[in-house]
Amino acid sequence: MSGQYLTLARDGLWNKNPALVQMLGLCPLLAVSTTFVNGTILGLVTLAVLTASNLLISTIRGSLDDRIRLPLQIMVIATFVTCADLALQTWLFEIHQRIGLFVALIVTNCTVLARAESFASRNPIRASLVDGFMMGAGFLLVIMLLSGIREILGQGTLFQGARSLFTQGTSGATDHNWTINFEFDGLLLVILPPGAFLTFGCLLAAKNWLDQYEQR
């Protein structure tokens, strides 16, 4: 029982990591990973949507007919993304001002549809819930790592914009500035789209190297 969930966790976080192994959801991953805060928030929203859609798809899997399965899954995912978008505007308005453009695009994150299609629509509810959460967590970890690396190398800062996370709803600005500045101007290339591919390629290489190292 618990061993099954452990396997699901290991699959989501490492063995079948949606970004590093399945190469899914690269569009938001590469586009939003310019600063750590933006990347992390998008990763968290993706995790929430993935878990919720897996849960609902698994609940209704009995009535999923081959002819309506795909449109139905997209409809469920779009519903949750819209709700998440509204929730973000309600509770984290200033963050939404910055990454709102990309939140709506979570619908097109293939990870979400892939998990609904290949896992949730043919597995029991609890396993689907764990799978959605773990795959989401795997995506979150990769986007955190990628955006952290890109922000440090590309701009010489870390946690840029973190302040607006904590000043939500208060009128004054807080004294504490969360941004860490390194004495370093940053390599422009890393911030630009090609830099996203290059950094992601390095992460891939590192993961594969670790896997091979373990085997030996």
> Contact with another protein (CB under 8 A): which of 21, 44, 108, 163?
163
| Residues contacting residue 205 through CB under 8 Å, at least 6 positions apart | none
Check residue 32 for interaction with another protein (CB under 8 A): yes
- Smallest distance, another protein to C-beta of residue 31, A: 9
Binding mask of the shown chain, residues 57 to 86, with x at each position contacting another protein by CB under 8 A: ---x--xxxxxx--xx--xx-xx--xx--x
| Residues contacting residue 131 through CB under 8 Å, at least 6 positions apart | 8, 11, 12, 54, 115, 119, 120, 123
- State how far the Cα of 42 lies from the Cα of 151, in Å rounded to an integer: 15
Q: Which of the stretches 43-51, 98-106, 138-146, 203-211 binds another protein when contact is defined by CB under 8 A? A: 98-106
Check residue 173 for interaction with another protein (CB under 8 A): yes
Q: For residue 28, how many other CB atoms are within 10 A of its CB?
A: 24
Interacting positions 192-211 with another protein (CB under 8 A): 192
- Number of residues near another protein (by CB under 8 A): 57
SS3 63: helix
- State how far the Cα of 34 lies from the Cα of 42, in Å rounded to an integer: 12
- Smallest distance, another protein to C-beta of residue 211, A: 19
- State how far the Cα of 21 lies from the Cα of 19, in Å rounded to an integer: 6
Q: How far apart are the first and last CA of the chain?
A: 30
- State how far the Cα of 90 lies from the Cα of 171, in Å rounded to an integer: 16
Interface positions with another protein (CB under 8 A): 4, 8, 11, 16, 32, 34-35, 38, 60, 63-68, 71-72, 75-76, 78-79, 82-83, 86-87, 89-90, 93-94, 97-99, 101-102, 117-119, 122-124, 127, 131, 151, 154-155, 160-161, 163-164, 169, 171, 173, 185-186, 188, 191-192
